Amino acid sequence: MSETSPKLRAELEGIPTYKPGKPAAAGGPVAYKLSSNENPYPPLPSVLERVTTAACDLNRYPDMACAELMDELSERFGVPHSHLATGTGSVGIAQQLVQATSGPGDEVLYAWRSFEAYPIVTQISGARSVQVPLTPGDVHDLDAMADAITDRTRLIFVCNPNNPTGTVVRRAELERFLDRVPGDVLVVLDEAYREFNRDTEVPDGVELYRERPNVCVLRTFSKAYGLAGLRVGFAIAHEPVAAALRKTAVPFGVSQLAQTAAVASLRAEDELLGRVGSLVCERTRVVDGLRGHGWTVPETQANFVWLRLGERTVAFAQACEEHGVVVRPFPGEGVRVTIGETEANDIFLKVAEAFHKER
Ligand SMILES: *Cc1c(COP(=O)(O)O)cnc(C)c1O
């Protein structure tokens, strides 16, 4: 056998691997997964029924144009088809956006800590990550981000609400920021948790996009709509950007099951948003409970809470796991805990109460 191996791009060296949330331990008495911001509710019967029917055609390729889903989205958001693109989850679209805008020598700017896919997709394209620390209150520091723009900046991610802190940026500060961004730099508003937001000062990215050709909005069916397993998300952007997304898409990437489920979910939106409402109530209960036990919790508008535990992060995650809930530790920084089933949230609150007393 030859000693040499295929030449791979040097940029791939040292790419951080995406760490999926740990699955709930099998075999334990109770095991709840609060580590991936998933929706704890099972698929709606109406959605499941359409997906089951669609499965009869698995020998066929999906509709490459995602026509039915595009029609539905176009009507719902009041945007032309030419401003829409679907993808294999919004992570897939984020990767396409970086690929379409940024290469070696270019810079991709985002807050840190934020969504862990951003450094990965940036490095895959050979571009350089410029990470701007969150404020001490764990919010995007938009002034510092604007200051960090250079003539190499090609794309800026703004994750609103931010994963993993749940914090938001509001209309006035976001508009002020957008006014400072040069028109040839793409701003991606990642609104994966938009449906969980209850702060009326948080702008709808779709409204901001209308007046701004350099703004792209990312949405997903993975969180509020409960379809994480099917991999479908979409982008709303002006034509050159949306067209670039169609060019960079893997052909037939979005499966027919995913397209069908997404359409069925939009049609069952009232029911799904009712579930989101219940999760928001649970969020309030969890945050109030934590604060009542003495914890400092940043205001969250997403389906998770952030505990800045620093050096005690791993110990806390272990304590949760011992009691049957799996959370998401970022060692040395903090723990992100998804709002899940009531029983799971109760366990988490109990562990947090005991842990806070111990210190
Ligand atoms: C979960 C999440 C997404 C959505 O990912 P999908 O690929 O659509 O499942 C996108 N952005 C952020 C910040 C997320 O947390």
Pocket test for ligand 1, best of 163, 231, 300 (most atoms within 8 A of CB): 163
Residue nearest to atom 11 of ligand 1 (CA): 192
The first and second tokens of residue 133, run together, are: 């620390």
Residue nearest to atom 2 of ligand 1 (CA): 192
Residue found by looking up tokens 């409402």 in the block: 277
**From CA 245, how far away is CA 177, in angstroms rounded?**
25
Strands in the chain per DSSP E? 32-33, 84-87, 107-112, 128-133, 153-159, 186-190, 215-220, 233-236, 304-307, 325-326, 328-330, 334-338
User: Residue 27: its pLDDT value, please?
Assistant: 63
- Tens of pLDDT along 70-127? 999 999 999 999 999 999 999 999 999 999 999 999 999 999 999 999 999 999 999 9
- Tens of pLDDT along 76-90? 999 999 999 999 999
Q: Per-residue confidence at 30, pLDDT binned at 50, 70, 90?
A: low
User: Residue 22: its pLDDT value, please?
Assistant: 81
Helix (H, G, I), strand (E, B) or coil at 257: helix
For the CA of 159, the closest atom of ligand 1 is 13
Mean of pLDDT over the chain: 96
For the CA of 228, the closest atom of ligand 1 is 9
Q: Is the pLDDT of residue 211 over 60?
A: yes
* DSSP code string of 66-86: -HHHHHHHHHHHT--GGGEEE
